[in-house]
Amino acid sequence: MDWKGRVGIFGIGEAGVGRAHGKSAFMIQAEAIDNALNEAGISLDEVDGIVNPNSLSDPRLRYAQSVAEYIGMSADKLRFVQTDPLGGSASGQSIHHAVMSIISGYASVVVVCGGDVLRSASGASSQGAQNQMADVMGKEFENPYGLSPVAFFALMARKYMVDYGVTPETMAGVAVALRAYAATTPGAHLFGRPVSVADVMESPMIADPIHRLECALISDGACALILASAEARTKFKKAPVLVDAASIAYGSGSGKVHEHMSQAVDLYTPRSSARVSSRRALADAGLSLRDVDVLFAYDAFPVLPSLLIEGLGYAEDGRGADFIASGNIALDGTIPMNTHGGLQGYCHSGYNGGMFMFTEAVRQLRGEAHNQVSDAHIALVQGYGSHISRFPTTILRSE
Amino acid sequence: MENRPVPLVTPDSEPFWEACNREQLLVQECASCERPQWYPRARCRYCYGYDLKWKEASGVGTVYSFSVVRRAAAPAFQGMIPYIVALVDLEEGIRMITHITDCDPEKLKIGARVVVHFREQGEFKLPVFRPQ
């Protein structure tokens, strides 16, 4: 795959991060899109593609088209309208699909957007979110056992802790390290609210061994990114951040693919798949892990980024949680990671929660982040989607 | 029973659930490549053959991992908390999501030997396990 230098992100926007203050999911998505368009210096009438990962509280088969309709996109112009109902995989795949549409010539300027109001949802849409969460589990062999997403990650966390002798305090330390970044990021859901290991350990147990303060937030929030061919740069106000390479691994990255959680070959597919996917993406970008200045890894629960960074190669098997908990992802650490606070502290508004890794990566590579990594030039975003089954890697570069 | 979800049975799995209702745990095995597979389906996921047979499992397995769920996944499970969700490896070589019952959650360990029994849920009998 040769994507290097061909497609750029020319504008980003966010709205309603943390709390939407009574606005609807469509309203905050419209605002995020406007903010991204303003940055890029173009009007909506210049956009001919839209990609959206759907909504958890208000799922619709043609969600991207619903957004296009709401904001008034032009049928004269539109070429690519793609709903990506891929769960957390918007933390990569929605961006990849936009790049594919641009490289193929199917579209020229694509907005990737997403948003939801999980925190302030009314009773009806809160029930919608619950139904969705239950629905994504297997209807035959998982749902009847009340396997919640937290319980599933709890199975993984316990296995990890027992196999490698990782203590509950170390797992709590992962959440502490991630939430620390949010505490120093104005606008983050948990801005100004750092937590300690004791806070995490004393928070209620949701699904043993996962405590409440180790769970991804339940947030409102929307974001949008404007992608276009790097050759079209003169029509934009901002210099692009380039999407240099991408790859995805399914299941464990080898053997049989799976879709249901209970079909995973083991509970360590985040590690094995991130290894496969990141190596392919780095090779395509002509880079090695040492070239990465700032890292993003999907962090719904502490065990997930722990395994992902082991797969990427930052820590030995079983040492990922300790790596994160002991200061290595801080600004002065080995590799700054999730500098906005991730799903643990910045925003988890459902399916688009992982897309905030991209808006933050763009800020980092432009030198505009609140927790700025000095001289950040290359970012690696290690995404995750659905039942430990999809692991997209994306490499971003500043010019 | 607060309307907990029941299995959505397919033609692929009907014999499995019928056997559960007789309190028998069946495992599907490929007649060609002799590998077991879970969940039941019409085709072997390894050799792609269609010649599958049902075999009664010993019902004995080991706990691969487990979680004590203290916040219900859905309102229907509220009355059941705390309940233990587990992945259990059957002797026959398949791994299934299930519950561990009749067990002090503080004493359960990964690797514990467990044995199947059946618990009514709606019109169904779900295979669940308890310490051997």
CB A153 within 8 A of CB A133: no
A207/B74 CB distance under 8 A: no
Rounded Cα–Cα distance for residues A294 and A329 (Å): 9
A144/B121 CB distance under 8 A: yes
Contacts of residue A150 in chain B, CB cutoff 8 Å? 69, 71
The C-alpha of A334 sits at a distance from chain B's nearest C-alpha, in angstroms, of 32
Nearest to A140 among B10, B65, B77 (CB): B10
pLDDT, residue A128, reads 66
B73/A148 CB distance under 8 A: yes
pLDDT, residue A22, reads 92
A150/B71 CB distance under 8 A: yes
pLDDT, residue A120, reads 85
Q: What are phi and psi of B113, to 5 degrees?
A: -80, 135
B39/A267 CB distance under 8 A: no
Contacts of residue B38 in chain A, CB cutoff 8 Å? 262-263
pLDDT band for position B75 (cuts 50, 70, 90): confident
pLDDT, residue B15, reads 96
The pLDDT tens digits for A371-390 are: 999 999 999 999 999 889 99
Q: Using CB atoms and an 8 Å cut-off, which of residues 26-65 of chain B contact chain A?
A: 38-39, 45-46, 64-65
A146/B95 CB distance under 8 A: no
Cis peptide leading into residue A53 (ω within 30°)? no
The C-alpha of A257 sits at a distance from chain B's nearest C-alpha, in angstroms, of 10
B1 has a pLDDT exceeding 60: no
pLDDT, residue A121, reads 76
Identify which of B112, B81, B78, B115 has the alpha carbon closest to the alpha carbon of residue A158.
B112
The C-alpha of B64 sits at a distance from chain A's nearest C-alpha, in angstroms, of 8
The pLDDT tens digits for B104-132 are: 999 999 999 999 999 999 999 999 999 99
pLDDT, residue A127, reads 64
> Which residues, given as ranges, of chain A have pLDDT below 70?
122-137
Inter-CA distances, A81 with A110, A287, B96, Å: 9, 32, 39
Contacts of residue B44 in chain A, CB cutoff 8 Å? none
pLDDT, residue A316, reads 98
Inter-CA distances, A267 with A153, A245, B132, Å: 9, 27, 25
